[in-house]
């Protein structure tokens, strides 16, 4: 087992040195790592807020923070996690790194735009961070008017500006991906030979370019109202706060699919390679990704069921919301069918994939519960909804993200992570997650409202269980931080294709050369054709 560096072959990490070579890079792989650092920071920032929230909720009468501060905690937890972690996470790190390689290209279509996207995320993040440090924002991550426009005394503008700027990061990334996939595929790389990870990111990019501009203009209007008092949403002038909600959720509902579609793309890759089988129903999975992207734009009114939206519109949105579950279910069925008679390995990424399938299913099914008007009237604004979306975002997206990080770590860094510790942390995360969020379904159904830190005593047991789970989960998340960093120095050197996977990204060295491939690749076989994997690629280097 070799742990010291062999005589250095040139690759993207050592081809140039110094801070300028990173901050002015055009290499999509380096930009992916820049993003990795940024989103990891915001993940732990959002996690810190979550920690404070869970500690506060240990006792029914609060006590650690005031109500005003508590409002800021859940707002900033949401803002940090949604806009600065979940939305960029998989597309900007794994997507940026691997999309060009998967299609056989040297880089994305617009490398400098890619770098600009990162800078926009950082600048937006700095605005949001400033707001958090200067006193915080307390409107909820949803910024409902008229509280956010007229009555809140917190740093609304700074936070809103931060989100506005980072939105352009998302738009430009989506634009870049769409053009790249359409125009830069290698010879022989037809649409139906693309890895499903690429299809998933294509669908995600469609949502990013069509949806994000709407929240941008909404924030602009909020800014104008708050600063210039122009009153588009002000009831005193005849404005309608529900209009804000329509505009906000037109983006924010599809946004949750920006968060989950790339995760599903990762899972497709993992299920295939660790069953050593082509994915069952490739075209179904590919088309279901695009179907999710399209349908996701037709359902936003289910966030407005009790807002004063017309009952007729509520019926329409509820009906449409049921449809969006269908393509997701198709994926789950296809992944499961892929496992059947597969040659299954239980490497860490596969553990995360299994976790995803189970937890995403729970999250998705409970989404159907809340899509039903009658049930939603009862559970809206309770912990039931919180549990629902955390099952998808954390049990789904974050598990897929970690699975992808472990799967692609050898390719990105040239090092293997320690498998024993990794398996352990996957199990710790799974257990911690369920202990944190399952009690929240019960809490919500029993009536515990969201965004409250004072609650009836009979809910305390469930809150204590949830906080205990959060502690376990925190440990689980810290472990990869430690062993990933450790592996950079001491990890086993990785071969080109440690997992025996198909896909052009595994045909090049680990870490890859600056221009990805030594020779321009040509795709000559179907996707997930395991007969093309060469034994030499898998040998430890």
Partner 1 sequence: MADHVDTLELREQFDTAEQQKDASTLGMWIFLITEVMFFGGMFLAYTVYRRAYPDVFAIASSSLNAVIGAINTGVLLLSSFTMVMAVRAAQLGQRKTIILFLTLTLFFGGMFLGVKAYEWNEKFQEHHIPGQAAFHLEGVAPSEQGHAQLFFSLYFAMTGLHALHMVIGVGLLSFLMIQAAKGTYSATYFTPVDVAGLYWHFVDVIWIFLFPLLYLIDRHLGKPL
Partner 2 sequence: MTGHIDSIKTYVGVLFALLILTGVTTAVAYVDLGAFSVVVALTIAVIKMLLVALFFMHLRHSNQLTKLVVLGGLMWLGILLALTLSDFATRGWLGVPGK
Give the binding site for partner 1 (CB under 8 A): 105-111, 171, 175-176, 178-180, 182-184, 209-214, 216-218, 220-221, 224, 228-232, 234, 236-240, 243, 246-247, 250, 515, 518
CB of 451 to partner 1, least distance (A): 26
Judged by beta carbon distances under 5 to 8 A according to partner kind, the member of partner 2, partner 1, none in contact with residue 484 is none
CB–CB of 154/137 below 8 Å? Answer: yes
Left if phi > 0, otherwise alpha if psi is -120 to 50, otherwise beta: which for 189?
beta
Q: What minimum distance in Å lies between the beta carbon of 163 and partner 1?
A: 15
Q: Closer to partner 1 at the Cβ: 131 or 215? A: 215
CB of 217 to partner 1, least distance (A): 4
Contact 407, 349 (CB under 8 A): yes
Closer by beta carbon to partner 2, 113 or else 427: 113
Contacts of 44 by beta carbon, 8 Å cutoff, 6+ apart: none
Nearer to partner 1, 220 or 315 (CB): 220
**Least CB distance to partner 2 at residue 451 (A):** 23
Per partner kind, with CB cut-offs from 5 to 8 A, the member of partner 2, partner 1, none near residue 300 is partner 2
Q: Residues for the chain: how many in total?
A: 541
Let me know: does 251 contact 141? Beta carbons within 8 Å.
no
Q: Which does 354 bind (CB under 5 to 8 A by kind): partner 1, partner 2, none?
A: none
Of positions 40, 309, 460, 471, contacts partner 2 by CB under 8 A: 309
Q: Which residues contact 9 (CB under 8 A, 6 or more apart)?
A: 509
| 368 forms part of the interface with partner 2 (CB under 8 A) | no
Candidates 116-124, 313-321, 407-415, 426-434: pick the segment binding partner 2 (CB under 8 A).
Answer: 313-321
182 scored as a contact of partner 2 (CB under 8 A): yes
Of the candidates 383, 386, 399, the one whose C-alpha atom is nearest the C-alpha of residue 431 is 399
Residue 409 binds partner 2, judged by CB under 8 A: no
Using the rule CB under 8 A, which residue among 187, 188, 308, 520 binds partner 2? Answer: 308
Ramachandran sector of residue 144 (left: φ over 0; alpha: ψ -120 to 50; beta: rest): beta
Q: What residues contact 379, with CB distance under 8 A and at least 6 apart?
A: 369, 370, 385, 444, 445
Q: Rounded CA gap, 492 and 414, in Å?
A: 8
Q: Which stretch binds partner 2 (CB under 8 A): 105-113, 122-130, 147-155, 245-253?
A: 245-253
Residues between 202 and 221 that touch partner 2 (CB under 8 A): 210, 214
Among 64, 290, 298, 375, binds partner 2 (CB under 8 A): 298
Told to check if 304 binds partner 2 by CB under 8 A, we report: yes
- In this structure, what is the dihedral angle of CA atoms 168, 171, 177, 183, given to the nearest 10 degrees? -100
Name the binder of 2 from partner 1, partner 2, none, CB < 5-8 A by kind.
Answer: none
Q: Are 64 and 55 in contact (CB under 8 A)?
A: yes
- Between 186 and 368, CB nearer to partner 1: 186
Specify the residue, 1 or 236, whose C-beta has the smaller distance to partner 1: 236
How would you write 485-528 as a 3-class SS string? HHHHHHCCECCCCCCCCCCHHHHCCCCCCCCCCCCCCCCCCCCC
What is the maximal distance between C-alpha atoms in the chain?
A: 73
Identify which of residues 218 and 272 has a Cβ nearer to partner 1 in the complex. 218
What does the block give as tokens for 412?
Answer: 């990105």
Q: Cα–Cα distance between 250 and 247 in angstroms, integer? A: 5
Using rule CB under 8 A, residue 246 touches partner 2 = yes
- Is 469:462 a contact under the CB 8 Å cutoff? no
CB of 167 to partner 2, least distance (A): 16
Instruction: Give me the residues that bind partner 2 (CB under 8 A), please.
Output: 182, 210, 214, 240, 242-243, 246-247, 250, 297-298, 300-301, 304, 308-314, 316-317
């Amino acid at each position: 087992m070799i742990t010291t560096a062999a005589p250095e072959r040139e690759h993207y990490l050592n081809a140039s040195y110094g801070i300028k070579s990173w901050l002015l890079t055009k290499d999509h792989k380096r930009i992916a790592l820049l993003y990795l650092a940024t989103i990891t920071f915001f993940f732990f920032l959002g996690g810190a807020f979550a920690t404070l929230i869970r500690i506060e909720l240990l006792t029914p009468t609060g006590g650690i923070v005031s109500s005003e501060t508590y409002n800021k905690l859940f707002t900033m937890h949401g803002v940090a996690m949604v806009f600065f972690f979940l939305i960029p996470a998989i597309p900007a790190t794994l997507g940026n790194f691997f999309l060009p390689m998967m299609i056989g290209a040297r880089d994305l279509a617009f490398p400098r735009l890619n770098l600009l996207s990162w800078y926009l995320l950082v600048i937006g993040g700095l605005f949001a961070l400033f707001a958090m440090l200067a006193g915080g924002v307390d409107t909820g991550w949803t910024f409902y008017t008229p509280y956010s426009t007229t009555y809140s005394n917190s740093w609304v503008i700074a936070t809103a500006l931060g989100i506005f700027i980072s939105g352009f990061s998302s738009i430009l990334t989506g634009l870049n991906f769409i053009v790249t996939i359409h125009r830069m595929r290698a010879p022989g790389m037809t649409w139906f030979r693309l890895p499903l990870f690429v299809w998933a990111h294509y669908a995600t990019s469609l949502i990013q370019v069509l949806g994000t501009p709407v929240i941008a203009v909404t924030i602009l209007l909020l800014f104008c109202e708050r600063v210039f008092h122009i009153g588009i949403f002000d009831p005193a002038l005849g404005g309608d706060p529900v209009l804000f909600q329509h505009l906000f959720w037109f983006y924010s509902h599809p946004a949750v699919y920006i968060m989950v579609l790339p995760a599903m793309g990762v899972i497709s890759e993992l299920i295939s390679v660790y069953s050593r089988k082509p994915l069952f129903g490739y075209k179904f999975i590919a088309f279901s990704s695009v179907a999710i992207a399209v349908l996701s734009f037709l359902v936003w009114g289910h966030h407005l069921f009790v807002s004063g939206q017309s009952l007729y519109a509520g019926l329409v949105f509820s009906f449409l919301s049921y449809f969006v579950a269908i393509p997701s279910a198709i994926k789950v069925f296809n992944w499961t069918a892929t496992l059947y008679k597969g040659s299954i390995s239980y490497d860490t990424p596969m553990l995360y994939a299994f976790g995803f399938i189970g937890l995403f299913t729970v999250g998705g099914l409970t989404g159907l519960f809340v899509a039903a008007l009658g049930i939603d009237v009862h559970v809206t604004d309770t912990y039931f909804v919180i549990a629902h979306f955390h099952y998808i975002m954390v049990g789904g997206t974050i598990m897929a993200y970690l699975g992808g990080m472990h799967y692609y770590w050898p390719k990105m860094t040239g090092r293997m992570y320690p498998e024993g510790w990794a398996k352990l942390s996957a199990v710790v995360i799974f257990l911690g997650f369920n202990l944190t969020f399952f009690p929240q379904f019960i809490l919500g159904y029993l009536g515990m409202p969201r965004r409250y830190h004072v609650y009836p005593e009979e809910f305390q047991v469930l809150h204590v269980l949830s906080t205990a789970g959060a502690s376990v989960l925190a440990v689980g998340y810290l472990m990869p931080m430690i062993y990933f960093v450790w592996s950079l120095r001491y990890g086993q050197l990785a071969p080109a294709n440690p997992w025996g996977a198909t896909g052009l990204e595994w045909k090049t060295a680990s870490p890859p050369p600056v221009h990805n491939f030594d020779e321009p690749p040509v795709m000559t076989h179907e996707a997930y054709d395991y007969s093309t994997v060469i034994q030499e690629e898998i040998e430890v280097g």
